[in-house]
Structure 1
Amino acid sequence: MRVSISDRRISVVPGVPTYLTVTITNTSEVIAGYSIRFLGADPEWVTFDTPDARLFPDASTDIRVGLRLPVGVPAGARRMAVQVRELTAEQAVAIEEIVVTVPDQPGLGLRLDPSTVTAGRRGEFGVVIENNGNTVLVGALRGVDAEKKIDFAFTPGQFRLAPGETLTGRLRTKAKRPVFGALAVRPFGLFVDDGVVRASAEPTAPADPADPFAAAGPAAEEAPTPAAAGVFIQKPVFARGLLSMIGLLLAVSVFALVISVALTSVMARSAADRDLALQVAQARYAATTATGTAGFAGTVRLLSDGQPIAGVSVEAFDESDTSVAVATTASDDQGVFAIGNLPAGTYKIRMLGAGFSEVWYPAALTDADAQSLTLSAGQRMTGLSVLLGGVPATISGTVLGTDVAGATVQLQIPLDSPIMQGLVGAGAGDAAPESGNGAIVRTAPVGADGTFTLAVVPSPGVYDLVVSKMGFSTQVQRVDVAAGENRSGIEISLIEGDGSIAGTVTSADGPVAGATVIASFGQNVAQTVTLTQDAIGTFTLRGLQTPGTFTVVVSAPGYAPATLSVNLSEGQQLTGMSIPLGKSSGTLAGTVTTPAGTSSAGVTVTVTGGSVTRQTVTQSGSSSGAWRISNLPLPSTYTVTFSRADLESQVTSVTIDANGVVSTGSSAVTSIDASMRMSTGRITGTVTQAAYGTGISQPADNVQVTATSGAATFAVTSASTPEANRGNFVLENLPPGTYTVTFSRKGTRSMSSIVTLVAGQHIELTPNLVSPASITGRVMMGPDAVSGIELRLYTAEQFGTAAAPVMVTRSDSGGGYAFEDVDAPAHYIIEVRSAGGSIALTTSSAITIAQSDSAKYDFTLESLS
């Protein structure tokens, strides 16, 4: 059998199949079957187009082997082998080693959580860095913003990530905060400085001036693409919404005050309003005396929220005489007005409405300050817009209850009103804003008799009246105030909280003392702590407004907060609640044991779950092999990996529930223990050899023991001392694989064994070598044996030189002699000398001997001198 491989060194990219060809040739004289295996790789990684072959003599076949390493295999070179076994005849095995190289594939994932932060001068982002390549990455993060106004600070400053490892860090941003105006939107990008060259993104669209990373021309196309992008939104010190609200309220108040002072007829407003209402009604139907083809059109809206106003009288005056209107109309339900049939000329327009202040177009208090509008013949001027503010209103009423003194009444603009749109309110997907949380317009104390008055209220408008007092439930009543209205007779009941919630806060370890319990419903908030003695863990929340739905939040150091919703009916006293708290973090611990003779210290223990990765090493000393990792988020499932260079890695999966209970599979455990094996194997044994002439085997020293696997060779020599260890050998630290173990000794035929070694395995071999080569014979003189004659053994190459003999012996009483343990194969010459060794009597011809052969050569002497 002959086996060859197309490539003995291949590069394999994880996830991408790589192929090589194995050629098998049948060198025997019979039909033979062969099976092929791939050693050193998981069987699921390897495919064969034909795992078995059957060949005629001298026939060959090619078998295509596909190797697909899983994604995540670390970079580097590793040795593997192709094994071909003959299924017939001698069951021969051929092993061909290959070197598989996994190239470096750096990969890094970077994201911000959240990617957008709204804050003032400083913002804080979470940074998640993940090494999704197959090599260790070492580097640092760098932030860049196009305006160069942000200072970036990363924690940690640098990172070192093994393949598959994840690190959670923090990014703090700082920039000068705008004082007034709109939000400052500051986009930025994160770059990774780790020595890895990453491709630049090709621009696919024209440059966007608002994007600091968009392509800005030919020179910008080479700019690197950020690994992650974020936005730091800065709120101004004085927000636009706040300024708008202050300006609006100030304008309304000043406008109302000016109108109140300017119009002496305000005291008789009711009569004027009736007259004005009649005037408006007449205007709707009155025919104007003017005739022509020009005209005006526009819209009348509320100053406070921009809503249209119906029934406002609109009068047109000739610029030269503003005492008599030349045309009159009124706004419809949409606030729209139109005056037509006017001759060419210059005009001024005045707006009057019941409860509203008089306004000359566009926003003047007198005709002298009004804007003149010039019309040509046939011209129709449209799009005129006028804002009217109502005469300040007054709201008064009574707060009912047993103890109303000290209560406060607030007048608030509701968050869901049109004026607050775009300033404050619920975002997309958020719940609608609750009543009683609006913008405060007026505040007034409640007298001892329960009365209150809110004066100079901008009108018209819709408001929330919010009555509150410590120990009582907050009451909210919505009122709709007409322009200039004097609203009175409002009654609001101040109700003392009559509901309660009582119960116990518990955990897996028992009641929890000192836990904080907060119940909230709108502005009604109650708080307490659980008892630390007597009835430990119990609590009672009193004075709760009913009926209502309360959000109860329970928190305690070392525990994860619990939130639940509780419904209380009218006057309900809820008791017997049991609120369980889970631990905020858990702990994994255990012990690692290693094979005898090795230390259990220094084993790396890695715990990974989601975005959390923690690592430690086993201890030394009296607690050798012990390990512990704390502060693990709960509940979660974690993968625990045990590794050390000289040991075979182990992986186990554990689950920690909300109470910190650890389980593997379906059973709870208190310790995660691991018993590890060596990552290498060993071959040991004792070599014996049959002694010359007896056939009895004895330990053999100085035997060369060689283990070969592909290009790797390991060799030792069997021991010669001490006598008790004679013939012993040990081959240690052998990588897993298939080895050919050969035993060689001078003059002896070698023998071999094939063994397959897995990690941590110990294989024992006891080979018995055949007897070594020897040369024997007799020395005769005639019929008589000659004893005491000296015989010298020389190699044929050294005979006749000054070289010393290889061996020397003497003939025994029967004339016999023997040279044992002769090195072979070799050619020898024996020289026979006299008993004193001084006279050469004769020499042999060249004697050729092979390993473990026994040659015989007899001598016949003519004389002894």
Structure 2
Amino acid sequence: MRVQLSSSVLELEPGSTGTVTLTVFNDSSVIAGYNVSVLGADEDWISITGNSASVFPGESCEMDITVMLPRRFPAGQRELQIHVSSRESVKDFELATLNLLVGSFEDLRIRVDPPTVTAGSRAVFAILLENAGNAAVLSQLFGSDDEEALRYRLDPVTVRLEPGEMQSIRAEVSGGRPWFGTPMPRPLTFKADGVELPPQGAAMFIQRPRISRWMLSLAGLLTAITIFAVVIRSGFESVANSNAVDGDLIEAAIADDGPAGQTLATNPGTITGTVESNGGTAISGVTVEIFSAADGETPLSAVSTGSDGTYRLTGLSAGDYRIRANGAGFDTLWFPDSPTHAEADDIKVALDATEDGKNFVLSGQPASISGRVMAEDPSGAMAVLVVAADSIDSDVPAEAQRVEVATDGSFLLADVPSPGFYELIIEKAGFAAEARSVSVRGGQAVEGIEIVLREGVGVVSGLVEGPAGALGNVTVEISDGSTNRRTFTLTTEGDVGTFALRDLPTPAAYTLTVSRPGFTTETLSIVLDDSRSEVDDLRIRLSSALGSIAGRVTSTDGSVVGSALITVTGADVQRTTRSMSATGAYLIADLPTPGSYAVTVAAPGFVSQTQAVELGATDTGNDLRGVNAALAADTGTVEGIVRDDDGNELGSVRVSLTNGDAVFTGFSADVTDQLGRFRIDRIPPGTYTATFTRAGSSTSALLVTIASGLVTEQDVVLAPQASISGQILEDGIARAGSVVRLFKIEEFDTTVLAEVTTGANGRYTFAGLEAPQDYVVAVALAPGSSTLIASEIVSAIPGTAATDIDIDTSSS
């Protein structure tokens, strides 16, 4: 075999696709098939299309090789090998080289932590620089402020980042501080060059004055405030520590005595994994440090997890390591789930190898939620923390914690599991329950929540029904812009579908929204005032939000295709049915709307067909009709006319097609109106050898290509049949009325194949003879006589007329 690429170089941008054509030539003497694979690339990146099943000797086939690069594919050149092997022998193969030239894109990101520092004349920041592009970046960092009042010292100033690497830089900012007055905010910016669009990170340096006004107060008051400030500062430091992002990484970056901004080496060994919360949510910004298995004090390097929670430790020599993950608000963990270095598992790293799947599951440190209830008399109010769940039937307990509000209106919910999403509800008899949605990070102290209590006596209640009766687990929400309440219809026997929203402030105009997946959403306007503070007779009906798809399946010629398999596939649903035998019609119902669906129709003997439809769109509605399919046959047809050299149509010619595995046969017609015509149906696509044979003619052979659903026209001309002719003589004179008989030589004098009587010129002819074949031409004594008076042996050759076979009877 020989192989050839349409181009040996393929230029691609990350995230794009490109195609080259591979041609395989069959230099052998037999029909051959080929297997094609691509070496040096992930199989998910490669798509190969084309027919290489049967290639005749001296012919070739073409296949399209499409390369689909992921977005983060490294820039530069990469060599791929196209491996083509024979299906008859794996030892028979060829290689072709394809060079990928991958373009580069820049994505350099910067983050400053902490974003705000309050200090005297000097502040220290950590700059986290991440290369999210696909090419190495050499970047230099700068600091600036509009007042030009600050000095900057960055260590290191210049960094080189490989694709996917993150690095921390220590930034020391200093400047003259005021003697008296209030703290002075100084906004500043850090900038990283080396890319076309340099990223910038904003920060704030708040400088405290040397002498504050409170220092001039009375000594007794100063002492009290000082003690109080120490206590408060200790508390805030604890909160700040628990909320620090990438704490260890930042401390390493800003430590005065540590190596700042150490760049990770680019060595063969690699460790990868993910970091998730115990709720299964990816955690970004977690510091993952790597240590020697023998030393748990000094990290060798560190990285931060990306937005998807993944990390990658590169540049590792062969050896045993242990890794640790710590993030703000989460418990520190050594891989896989140990609190100390001594109890951690070793990770053995080899050169040119990646240890993946080193995943962490971190538990959040307890959080807290505090605030104040604004009311003339908040005593007796309760602060209730409820887990945000999709329904009251959730497996998660609805109420997480309940505390009584202090007489001054303050409340504190401590030891709140984190991270999590909650609803904070303030309840008090005679007042409307007020709710706030609260999201807490690991170990976060959420403070400063203020909730105003309003007197409430309003009630809205009723029943929600669907097409089949009362509906449980329906979300019922009410809002007037200030008060927002939510509940669910009951699922308990006897109360299914009922709901009640109580303690609503009045007077007010509310919007009531009722919703459940699979049903339409209904919205009502309700006014509660002194004349009517209770609405308890609501009866709300939700219509089904399910839709259907219907159509008809036929062949391309319009005939019905029954029992075709119809598959409708959506995001979370798949339905199947079959078309009706008599009409080809089908219907698939109970499809969630709105939604995008793929409708695939398949039937034996036909090419499958897929089309995309939108269900529930404003212009189509929930019930989509006319989604028809006209299927093309997955086999083809060959037809044509057989003629002789003079253009005359020839009947009873045997037509045969074969690809080495299957044979299809037929005959040309011998009826007057279709003479010479032939047609063979239901031939699988491919290349075939077609042969045309008839007695006495040379066989004609040619290559025919069959395509699905198409008719291939192929006419052919056959050579004349074999024949024998001559003259019967007596003493050299034509003998009229002689009886001439034809025998096969092996059947001589027993079986007469043909008999003719000469005319006045003594001539005879035997046409349409089988050949090659030896015959005997004999002259009988008289009509009806079995006595033969003369004979001649003649060899008939296909397509050849044996003429002048003269026989003289005078010598008999």
Shorter-chain TM-score: what band? Answer: 0.3 to 0.5
TM-score, normalised to structure 1, is 0.41
Bigger Rg, which one: 1
